[in-house]
Structures are given as C-alpha cells and as structure tokens.
Amino acid sequence: MLSKSCIYALRSIVFLAHNASIDAKIGIKEVAKELELPTHYLGKILQQLSKNNIIQSIKGPNGGFYLNEESKKVKLIKIIEVVDGLSFFTSCGLGLKECSDTHPCPLHDEFKIYRDGLWSLFSSKSIQELVSKLEGGDAFIRNLSSK
C-alpha cells in the first residue's frame, strides 16, 4: 500500500522528531545508519520532505535535519500525499478506472472499507502521537537487531 519511499519517510520523520532539535540536528548519514536505510535514497526523501516544510534542515558544518513544534503536529496523510500522492484512497482494488459506488467491481464494497479506514487513520494521527508512543516505550522504529 505505501511505497518503500513513504515507509522510509515515516520512519525517518519519527526518528528525527524523537531525537533531533534545532540545537541538536541530525545528518542524513546518522539517520540512515540508525534506521538501516540506504543513505543516498534517504537523502532524496529527506530533501523532498524539507522542500515541503514537513521537516526542517540547515546546511553547513553544524547542519542537519530536525522538526519544529509545528511540524510535529503534521498528520501522517500529509507525508503520504507528499511522497506517494493520495490516489490509493480513491482507487479500485482491482485497478479498474470506472469502479464506483454505482458501478462497483467485485471487491469494491470490502476494499472501500479498508481504504477508508486507512484514510481515517492517517488523517487523524500526527507525528507527535507516534513519537509519544516511542517515548512511552510502547513502540519502536528500529529493527530488533539494531541498538
């Protein structure tokens, strides 16, 4: 459902929101190492997120990425929109162009429930809510083999 780029974006944003600040920015290499993600690929994703004001970045020797308080309030659907687009949330489960409530495919009714549920989830959850789960010890974003 979500592309690899979008999954990497979500994990990276939560990592940055949890670990970085204006006074303690984190570079691409450190994020990539900590989350076991390819550096070059991640760099393109983080640049895209920065360009769309979802994360903040500062260039130079003391530069890096972080999230300000406003960015932490961003809903996950905004990240998905920037990275993958929103077409999944209106698409047919069988890929038909004409599928609709009045002209449904065989999967339409069941797929619509799943699709609409994901829309609701991603539209209601903020970055900060995911960070709060990390801080509470109720969730993780790194592989168990990592730190």
CATH 1.10.10.10 fits 4-85+126-135, yes or no: yes
- What is the mean predicted confidence (pLDDT) over 110-121? 96
Question: Residue 83 is encoded by which pair of tokens?
Answer: 């990275």
pLDDT at position 122 over 70: yes
Domain residue limits, the chain:
4-85+126-135
Could you count the other beta carbons within 10 Å of the beta carbon of residue 77?
18
- The residue behind tokens 């619509």 is 112
Mean pLDDT of 98-114: 96
pLDDT at res. 61: 85
Q: Read off the pLDDT of residues 16-72 as tens digits, 9 standing for 90 and up.
A: 999 999 999 999 999 999 999 999 999 999 999 999 999 999 998 889 999 999 999
pLDDT per position as a tens digit, 74-90: 999 999 999 999 999 99
Q: Which residues contact 5 (CB under 8 A, 6 or more apart)?
A: 41, 45, 83, 84
Q: Give me the half-sphere count of Cα atoms (radius 13 Å) on the Cβ side of residue 94.
A: 11
Average pLDDT (97-112) is: 95
The answer to whether residue 147 scores a pLDDT higher than 80 is no
Q: Considering only CA atoms, give the Rg of the chain.
A: 17
Q: Is the dihedral of CA 100, 103, 109, 111 positive or negative?
A: negative
* pLDDT number for residue 60: 86
Question: What pLDDT, on the 0 to 100 scale, is given for residue 145?
Answer: 58
pLDDT at 139 over 90: no
Q: Is 36 exposed, middle or buried (0-12, 13-18, 19+ CB in 10 A)?
A: exposed
DSSP symbol at 102? S
Could you list the beta-strand ranges (E) of 27-106.
56-58, 64-66
